[in-house]
Amino acid sequence: MTRTSLPPVPLTGHGPYDEYGRVLHCGDLTAQLGLAVVRLEQALAEAGLAPADLVRITVRATGPVPVEDVLDRVVERLEAIGADPLVGVERVDRLPDAGMLVAIDAVADPDPGSPTLMVVVAHPDDEAFGCGSVLAHATAHGWRSVVVCATRGELGEPAPASGLRPEQLPAAREAELRAACRVLGVGRVVLLGHLDSGTTGPPAAGALVAVRPARLQDQVAALVDEVRPDVVVTLDGGDGHRDHAAIRDATLAALDRVDHRPLRTYLHCLPGSLMTELTGLPLGTHDEEITTVVDVASLLDRRWHAIRAHESQVPPFDAMDARLQHAFLATDHLRRVDPPWAGGPVETTWRPVPVTTLWPRLPADDHPLTTAKENR
């Protein structure tokens, strides 16, 4: 087997241990991080890999360790050994041994591709009407993307001008999904094969909300382990559609079943203030729960192109005035759910960025590597 044919290699549990497995440097964050990186280097060498092959690192930190201190120190150590991975910090309640402040889990890949986004939705058009600018943003920044769609939208209401009969709708909507994804630069579309549940009434056999939750969770988890995304985004279910809530719940629960845990998982949110203004009802995600706000105004043309690919459907934005339409479409609102948000200024990107393109040029309050922040 040649070196470039190696699959991604997980390297987990590297801590501040001596050769006998004893924890050293208790209470000294800098020294523990340095020793943990040395142990990681040794594991790389034993696997026939180099620091440059590192593609992902998660630093698990416990106790009153300031997250930004961890980031600064690990970035310095990684740069010193010539490593350029995506980095996350996860706060945990405890580590395996007493006295440990940090431990490092890593993935090495001698032939890595671009970072990958996975978007998980319920129906064709959710990827464009809901997450279209997230996908366009990923493409614009060199990311690969995969869209997972649970149904073919069988119970959607055809646009009056479409001329489609109900039995023609599933095939038409699948074709529209694939066309919109091509516009957005999506590399792969996966259909899970369930039926649209509709909005009211008893669900039919095979409908998404009638599927055993464990089965749906297993489907999503298997795809996460196959695709190995860096970031997962799914719907917040804030419009009240039961299928949107079902795919949200399954996606979040699937994280407890995966071998590959994404660096970040987000809900794509309908802000409560905008939904109340639009409908007069208490729908959407409370504004104060939104952790991430991304300016995507530059991607509006591409997003509209993707929206219009769904010719069988009437976009809800068509009924809005220009101001409200712009508020929904020119800014992405997300809620980071994994790792949990720990407070502080909102993020302005959902993309973890390789350390050498980020540090030390960005201020701490716009630090894309930060996956948990101190309350300020």
Evaluate whether 162 touches 309 at the Cβ level (below 8 Å). no
Residue 48 has pLDDT above 80, yes or no: no
Residue 8 has pLDDT above 80, yes or no: no
Residue 373 has pLDDT above 80, yes or no: no
At 80 the pLDDT is 84
Q: What is the 3-state secondary structure (H, E, C) of the chain?
A: CCHHHCCCEEEEEECCECCCCCECCCCCHHHHHHHHHHHHHHHHHHCCCCHHHEEEEEEEECCCCCHHHHHHHHHHHHHHCCCCCEEEEEECCCCCCCCCCEEEEEEECCCCCCCEEEEEECCCCHHHHHCHHHHHHHHHCCCEEEEEEEECCCCCCCCCCCCCCHHHHHHHHHHHHHHHHHHHCCCEEEEEEEECCCCCCCCCCCEHHHCCHHHHHHHHHHHHHHHCCCEEEEECCCCCCHHHHHHHHHHHHHCCCCCCCCCEEEEECCEHHHHHHHHCCCCCECHHHCCEEEECHHHHHHHHHHHHCCCCCCCHHHHCCHHHHHHHHCEEEEEEEECCCCCCCCECCCCCCCHHHCCCCCCHHHCCCCCCCCCC
CA 251, 256, 262, 267 torsion-angle sign:
positive
Q: What is the mean pLDDT of the chain?
A: 87
At 353 the pLDDT is 55
Question: Any bridge partners for residue 60, and if so which?
Answer: 90, 103
Residue 374 has pLDDT above 90, yes or no: no
At 366 the pLDDT is 37
Residue 51 has pLDDT above 90, yes or no: no
Under the banding of pLDDT at 50, 70 and 90, the label for residue 359 is very low
Q: Which two tokens stand for residue 229?
A: 């995304």
Q: Which two tokens stand for residue 88?
A: 């996350």
**Tell me: the pLDDT tens digits for 227-272?**
999 999 999 999 999 999 999 999 999 998 999 999 999 999 999 9
**Tell me: the pLDDT tens digits for 169-206?**
999 999 999 999 999 999 899 999 999 999 999 999 99
Q: Which two tokens stand for residue 83?
A: 């490593």
At 363 the pLDDT is 34
Residue 364 has pLDDT above 80, yes or no: no
Under the banding of pLDDT at 50, 70 and 90, the label for residue 372 is very low
Evaluate whether 64 touches 347 at the Cβ level (below 8 Å). no
Residue 5 has pLDDT above 80, yes or no: no
Average pLDDT of span 39-48: 85
**Tell me: the pLDDT tens digits for 286-326?**
999 999 999 999 999 999 999 999 999 999 999 999 999 99
pTM of the model: 0.70
| Backbone φ and ψ of 268, nearest 5° | -85, 120
- Which residue would you say has higher pLDDT here, 65 or 123? 123
Under the banding of pLDDT at 50, 70 and 90, the label for residue 70 is confident
At 129 the pLDDT is 96
Residue 23 to residue 20: CA distance in whole angstroms = 9
Evaluate whether 102 touches 128 at the Cβ level (below 8 Å). no
At 112 the pLDDT is 67
**Tell me: the pLDDT tens digits for 116-165?**
999 999 999 999 999 999 999 999 998 999 999 999 999 988 888 888 88
At 160 the pLDDT is 86
At 121 the pLDDT is 98
